Structure 1
Amino acid sequence: MDTVLVTGSAGGVGAWTVDALADAGHEVVAVDREAPPSDERRADVDYKGADLTDYSETHQVVNAAAPDAVVHLAAIPHPEDHAGSRVFANNVESAYNVFDAAGAAGARVVWASSESLYGTVFADEDWLPERLPIDEATATEPEDPYALSKVVGEEVAAAAARRHGVAAVSLRLSWVTYPGDERRREARETFDPATAAPSGNCWSYVDVRDAVAAVEAAIDPETAIEGHEAVLIVAAENFLGRDTAATIAAVRGELPAECDLDGDESVFDCSKAKRLLGWEPAHSWRDSSTTDGDTPPSSGH
């Protein structure tokens, strides 16, 4: 099987990705700032510690692994707990170093971009696009350091694809949720349109299992990709169980002039992911699960 290097391997999506790829028989190199203690490691995974904002360290771990694909999930995941300059610098520097090293190694690049780059989630003002649903052609309008780092990261991925002739896929993930995670249920049960604050992504999400499935599809050498492609990876419906357009109108007091949404469907159109990767969301908040929401079922992390 192929060798796949996964950065951010100790994070939520990272741990699930490492487990899924190892279970599928890939040779997995799991990279995070620190390698985990020996009693928290899978025997069939090679763990490495590296500072991905350091160009030399990044190239060392990638060169040593000689991967067929690199899955870049390491990042500061939002702008709320760190200085904005740190969020931007960390995410952009690590993306450049990882993509440059991956491209030089001839490895396919897949990484976690975000739906926040449209101007959602962390914007200071209420955000509403010119039309709904949103797709990959919708203008990116970031105003916070995290979203801006994702816009720049996609440009870095595209540059690496051009320079090194490798395929690069930016997965524009929505809010990643986990089996057994109570946050969606609590938000749904306490939701009141009359008092609710506007939602930056209009109550969209994606199940971690579907996020991992997108990663697996994107690294598959049989998936025909040339250059760089960005694809939205979002659940089919909002997590409120309410009519999406009606809820946006009730909370915000308006809708875009062009709005073509049916029932509770997500405001994000993932048809490109289906066309390019053969990916469709398979999990919904309606699924019943008692699985621990913090770690993948088979992981020692």
Structure 2
Amino acid sequence: MRIAVTGGTGKLGRAVVAGLRESGDQVFNLDAAAQRPDIRVDLTDYGQTLSALTAVDDRYSAIDAVVHLAAVPAPGVTTNAATFHNNITATYNVFAAAAAAGIDNVVWASSETLLGIPFETPPPYIPLDEEYPARPEWHYALAKHLEETMAAQFCRWNPALKMIGLRFSNVMEPADYAEFPSFDADPHLRKWNLWGYIDARDGAQAVRKALDYDGTGVEIFIIANADTVMSRSSASLAAAVYPDVPVTRELGEHETLLSIDKARRILGYEPQHSWRDADPL
């Protein structure tokens, strides 16, 4: 496929671009920070976005699928309003331009923050899944919530469209794993996302699976690694930090508390990388 990846210069984006190219796809990175041979695009400008998803001179004359990762990547990077305006505008432009260009295969980065992060209000149950209504607590998460709502309406307008939102957990690269043992001293340090993470390479796997998924309409998936960032057991973490939160089933020793059951069942997603297997740095 000819795939446009927005934000391919970022932490997750680099892994996604590399993974798709290894699969044999033609991949074009559209990014405000791009340098040749990538393509510089301001996604908050609809005209630029539409042009980029239609044709670019000697690069391509059409695009088959879009992976939208570009965004202010987290809360607190800039002001609340700037984060919200940038992310919701860029995502609307990508969704609308893809529709105008006749692209019916769209995968985009939603966020684990919709689960209620940073859980100052405890989660409704553990492990968390996609079944309860979104609980955005930050302006960053509010934009992500509206993106999911927007995708549902685009799919209602066009029943042939497939849009898959991936609620990525905290993205990590192998170099980040050296810090993980320091989390063990205090389980409260990482309670804000229930001790979850996603290896960027497994994030790329999820994108590949989502692009290949044969379906229509909007689907939302939590994408995390199969384990937590902690050495202590998942059951002990839940009991120590959230003793009043129901645990809905027996937990594996280090099982993620951000359930990936739906992604496993529907997409065939299965994490291949863990910080526990990384070479010590």
TM-score by length of 2: 0.90
Aligned equivalent of 2:269 = 279
Which runs of no fewer than 5 residues in structure 1 stay unpaired? 42-46, 292-301
Matches within 5 A, 1:111-122: 111-121=108-118
Query: Alpha-carbon deviations, 1:102-154, whole Å to 9, x = none?
Result: 12223200011111111113x6xx23212111111022111211111111111
Query: Aligned partners of 1:290, 1:62: CA distance in 2, in Å?
Result: 42
Partner of 2:196: 204
The corresponding residue for 1:232 is 222
- Given the alignment of the two structures, is residue 192 of structure 1 paired with residue 185 of structure 2, yes or no? yes
- The separation in 1 between residues aligned to 2:189 and 2:15, in whole angstroms, is 31
The answer for the alignment partner of 2:27 in structure 1 is 28
1:25/1:210 Cα in 2 relative to 1: closer, same or farther (>3 Å)? same
Indicate the residue corresponding to 2:133 in structure 1.
Answer: 139
1:256 aligns with 2:245: yes
Alpha-carbon distance between aligned partners in 2 of 1:130 and 1:34, rounded to the nearest angstrom: 39
Q: Secondary structure at the match of 2:66?
A: strand
- How far, CA to CA, are the matches of 1:286 and 1:177 in structure 2? 13
RMSD (CA atoms): 1.9
Q: Equivalent residue for 2:86?
A: 90
CA apart distance, 1:237: 1.1
Which of these residues, 163, 170, 177, is aligned with residue 168 of structure 1?
163
Partner AA of 2:245 in structure 1: P
Q: Which amino acid aligns with 2:112?
A: E
**TM-score between both structures, scaled by the size of structure 1:** 0.85
The DSSP-based 3-state class of the residue aligned with 1:52 is coil
- Equivalenced residues, count: 273
1:180 pairs with one of 155, 163, 175: 175
Q: What is the distance in 1 between the residues matched to 2:189 and 2:278? A: 28
Matched residue, 2:100: 104
Q: What is the CA–CA distance in structure 2 between the aligned matches of 1:117 and 1:267, rounded to whole Å?
A: 15
Answer with 211-220 or 160-169: which moved more: 160-169
